[in-house]
Structure 1
Amino acid sequence: MSADELTKRLREALDRDDAIRLLRAAIGRDSITGNEANVVSLLRDEMLSRGVENVKTADFLPGRPNVWGERKGAGGGNRLQFIGHTDTVHVDGWREHWAGTEREDPFAAPIIDGQIWGRGSGDLKAGICASLAALSLLDKAGIRLKGDLAFAFVGDEESGQPGTGISAGIKDYAARIEAGEIERPDFVVYTEPTQLAVYSAQIGFFIADITITGKSAYFGVPELGKDALKASHAVMSALWKHSDEIAARGEHPLIGRGFLLITGLTGGGFIAVPEECKLSLIRKLLPGESVDDAATEMEAVIRGAIADPEIKVEIAYPAGRDHRVGGSAAEIDPNLPAVSMLCASVAQSFAGRGAIEGAPFWSESPFFVNRLGIPAVYCAPGDIRNCHTFEEHVDIEEYLAGIVAFASFMARYCGVAE
């Protein structure tokens, strides 16, 4: 069967109503980070009803489960993994923003002008649902695979909720692969929203919270104090210069230049020499950059900007992911056969899509690429630019094309059993 014939067969077999119902049901389960169990129960039922085998759930933290399973093939093919995170960002202000409109309930999943709206629609329930609907599509089209399909839906990817957002879910899942409890895949598709582009590279990052402490003194005798605000100005000037130097080092063809962005400043005193100031920043890393080296370099810039030894500096890293201080950058060879195959599957399913691009965000593919040595990409319906906003929605035709593309890729990568 040619690729065009495969795509045509899949398009004709697609159950649009089932696919749309599945996505709307998933959006309907509030799964703001910490509440993943609410959608995991739905996904478990859907996996079982769609013939996923060996479905298991286990808490990565108390009351917060992952769910995973597989469909064993006839033998002789590759093992393909689809994975996505079950948690979403908060909905603070959503109801007020859309009060009196059909978008008011962030979990109602209304269909408006050919789009499905709601929190988590793009990030990333459309990707999760597309992968499960693709399995059902293969069954309906009468296509049995040689290789295995693995599905895993994990929590704690999103940041923002207190005490969460450290990738605890995928850390647990990756550890199970390392321990041999879960079979290693040959290739991974992480279903972050890409508008059906294929992201073979992604940024790395770390966040730093910097506390600069001097000594307070009455404004009339400032010589008795140590001005933390003045020291912070010197630190910020040095960091902005450092960012320019980072950007000048070179440009990655898919994700641009590295930089450092100061994101917050608080401090000051009441008619007094300011004793304490706090800065926050985020550092963008390119593939090949060491997180450790970048953090060490930044710390040297900060400490070198403060001339007075009596002014103290403390630096904390609150967002450890696959690295203790942040998340590492990752990339794979965009010319790998699997990548080319996925790009072609998407392009045949939705004209103009399937280009190789880079992720302007950090998500969890480094757990596969860097930690486990398994090639992984991001690919799914949805537009990252409207995610985390009051505008979050997914285009229905893009979502349905994603299902066909995933099913086509499953067949081509895993092989079809005659």
Structure 2
Amino acid sequence: MSPQELKSELEAAQDASADIALLKSALAVESVTGNETGFARFLDQELTKLGLTTGREEFLEGRENVWAEQVGEPGQNLMIVGHTDTVHVRGWPEHWGEDARSNPFAGTEHDGFIWGRGASDLKGGICAAIAGLRLLQAAGYAPKQTLTFAFIGDEESGEPGTGVSAGAKHLVQQVTAGEIAKPDFAVYVEPTNLDVYTAQIGFFIAEITIKGKTAYFGTPEHGVDALKATHQLLSQIWQHEADLAASPAHDLVGPPSILVTHLGCGGFIAVPGEGNLSLIRKLRPGEDLDEAVAAFEASLDVEALPEGISISIDYPAGRDHPKGGSPVEIARDNPQALLLRECVQQFRPEAGNIAGAPFWSEMPFLTNQIGCPAIYFAPGDIAVAHTFEERIDIEDYLAAVRSFALFIARYCGVRSKNEHPTRRTS
């Protein structure tokens, strides 16, 4: 059977209303970071319906990952990965008021989009992948080689005490221990507008506290002005920003950069005794995170600050690295990445471009910690993620379902679904 023949069969077999209903059902399950378990159990049920062997396990107390597997003939193992948590919905109803989109969990259809928290980031990708397998089955086929799904919590930041990739770390432990089969290639379903991302940025966040000494405004000579010291540090940081902008850029993700994101300093009719600022540093693939941190700290001329000023730096966003998230890249001519591009372009000739992620997600856990080449691919636009405008284009979503079905078939090979797969025993 040729790819073109299979493409035609998939197009004929797709039940668009069922695919849309799956996504709406997923959006109805609130799963803000810290509350992922309900959605993990929803996915367990959907994957069980497709005949996969499933499992769930707590990665932290009361918070579950879910995985599923269809074991096939010896050969390649494809893993599809995504995070189950979303960012919060505070302010969403107030933003939309009487508009039909005021319920972030309703999956409202409007102007050719489905609106709701997680529609783009990234329940659309999860549902497209699951619906892709369902479509392949509806066409009369099943993967010949092993297919694994792994859906993990704690990817998003923003909720106190969460967002450190605890779910991804647990998945790595399970693969390393042999509890989940090591994949040969992985697709992480972050939104890419149906392009194929073979590279992603890295990052670290730094929070700097500047301490001086407060004093009454009429006797400022008794104080040490933390605001003036903060101004000096900002000038040094912005010089470091200029140096980074002048350094070599990566052709898929651009140059490295640094951005001050928060500034706080002041006193009540008094010399400011303490200041604080936050910043985020973007790394291009090929940069070392330890070296980037060292270069940042070296750019701060602490010796030039006024006597009596002290600073401390905290790095609160450790992911696969204690101080942040590593940049990563696989070869852009990776055969599986090119195969996925070819599958996407069967349905959307203008899509499937090899590109780079302007965001950080958990691909380094796959590439660096378990040695599995990985890419990002899914419907949805990262530009509307985390906003009140979060939505997904319905036609892109349905095209992604077909693309996943075709890619699974071509990567894993296919057999008649009447030939029962082998199941792993736990």
Alignment of 1:16-415 (within 5 A): 16-53=16-53, 55-73=54-72, 75-304=73-302, 306-415=304-413
TM-score when normalising by structure 1: 0.97
Distance 1:150 1:221 in 2: 69
Deviations 1:343-362 (A, max 9, x none): 01011122311001110000
Structure-2 separation of matches of 1:305 and 1:162? 35
Displacement of 1:305: 6.3
* Alpha-carbon distance in structure 2 between the residues aligned to 1:351 and 1:397: 14
Secondary structure of 1:391's match? coil
Per-residue Cα deviation, 1:20-67 (whole angstroms, up to 9, x for no partner): 1110000000111111012112111101011112x1111111111000
Alpha-carbon distance in 2 for matches of 1:88, 1:241? 36
Contact 2:236 2:301 in 1 (8 A): no
TM-score (norm 2): 0.95
Deviations 1:69-100 (CA, angstroms, capped at 9, x unpaired): 11112x14311000100100111111011111
Q: Shift of the alpha carbon at 1:8? A: 1.3
The one-letter amino acid of 1:379's match is F
Cα-to-partner distance string for 1:215-259 (whole Å, 9 max, x where unaligned) = 112223322221111111010000000011112111101000001
Deviation at 1:298, TM superposition (A): 1.1
Deviations 1:380-402 (A, max 9, x none): 01111111111111111111110
- Contact 1:71–1:148 (CA<8 Å) still a contact in 2? yes
Match in the other structure for 1:13: 13
SS at match of 2:64: strand
- Equivalents in 1 of 2:61, 2:210: separation in Å? 36
* Identical columns (%): 53
Q: 1:108 offset after TM fit, Å?
A: 0.7
Deviation of residue 309 (structure 1)?
4.8
Distance in 1, Cα, partners of 2:356 & 2:111: 29
Number of aligned pairs? Answer: 416
CA displacement 1:274-321 (0-9 Å, x = unmatched):
110001000000111111111111112224464335311110111111
Cα distance in 1 for partners of 2:289, 2:107 equals 39
- Whether the 8 Å contact between 1:145 and 1:416 is mirrored in structure 2 is yes
CA distance in 2, matches of 1:49, 1:326: 38
2:232, 2:305 within 8 Å by CA — same for their partners in 1? no
Of 180-189 and 308-317, deviating more is 308-317
The residue type equivalent to 1:241 in the other structure is: Q
Instruction: Specify the code of the residue in structure 1 equivalent to 2:57.
Output: A
> How many Å separate the matches in 1 of 2:369 and 2:274?
39
1:116-167 CA-to-partner distances (Å, cap 9, x unmatched) read: 1111011000100111111111111122322111001110111111111111
Q: Which amino acid aligns with 2:133?
A: L
Of 92-101 and 183-192, the range deviating more from structure 2: 92-101
CA contact (8 A) 1:235 1:305 kept: no
Q: Secondary structure at the match of 2:134?
A: helix
CA contact (8 A) 1:78 1:147 kept: yes
Answer whether contact 1:303 1:313 (CA < 8 A) is retained: no
Q: Would the alpha carbon gap of residues 213 and 278 (structure 1) be closer, same or farther in structure 2, given more than 3 Å must change? A: same
